[in-house]
Structure 1
Amino acid sequence: MDHNSLLYSLRSRWRTGDASPRRRESGFTLVEVLVSIVVLSFGILGLVGVQAFALQSTREARLQAQAANLAREMTELMRGNNQIAIKSDASLNPYLINLQSPLSPATANYCLGVASSSACADGTAVARAELTDWLTRLDAALPGARVVICFDKAPYDSNGMPRWDCTPGAAGVDEVAVVKIGWTRKSTLRASATSDGVETATASGSYPYVVFPVTSGNPVEAPSL
Structure 2
Amino acid sequence: MHNTIYNQRGAGLIEVLVTVLILGTSLLALAALQSKSLQYNHSAYLRSQANILAYDILDRVRINRKNVGSYNQKMDAAKPAGGTVASNDIRDWLTTIETMLPGADGAVTCDANSLCTVEIQWAEQSSSGEKTEEQGSFVYTTQI
Which TM-score applies when normalising by structure 1? Answer: 0.53
Pair 99,143 (structure 1): closer, same or farther in 2 beyond 3 Å: same
Match of 2:107 among 117, 138, 148: 148
Aligned mates of 2:13, 2:86 — CA distance in 1: 75
Quote how far apart the aligned CAs of 1:79 are. Answer: 1.1
Query: In the alignment, is residue 82 of structure 1 matched against residue 82 of structure 2?
Result: no
Unaligned runs of 5+ in 1: 1-9, 88-92, 110-119, 152-167, 188-195, 202-207, 217-225
Unpaired runs of 5+ in structure 2? none
The structure having more radius of gyration, on CA atoms, is 1
Provide the residue aligned with 1:178 in structure 2: 117
Give the whole-Å Cα distance in 2 for the aligned partners of 1:137 and 1:79: 19
| Backbone CA RMSD of aligned residues | 2.8
From 98, 109, 116, the equivalent of 2:74 is 98
Q: 2:90 is aligned with what amino acid?
A: L
Q: Secondary structure at the match of 2:90?
A: helix
1:108 aligns with 2:81: yes
Displacement over 4 Å in runs of 4+ = none
Which residue of 2 is the match for residue 200 of structure 1?
135
Partner AA of 2:81 in structure 1:
A
Q: Which structure has greater helix proportion?
A: 2
Cα distance in 1, alignment partners of residues 132 and 97 from structure 2 = 23
SS in 2 for 1:143: coil
- Would you say how many aligned residue pairs link Structure 1 and Structure 2? 139
Query: CA-to-partner distance for each residue in 1:130-188, whole Å, 9 max, x for gaps?
Result: 1111111100111121322114xxxxxxxxxxxxxxxx7xxx5x55110111211158x
Equivalent residue letter for 2:139: V
The answer to whether the 8 A contact 1:144-1:200 is kept is no
| Greater strand fraction, Structure 1 or Structure 2 | 2
Amino acid of the residue matched to residue 60 of structure 1?
S
Structure 1 residue aligned with 2:14 = 31
Aligned counterpart, 2:39: 56
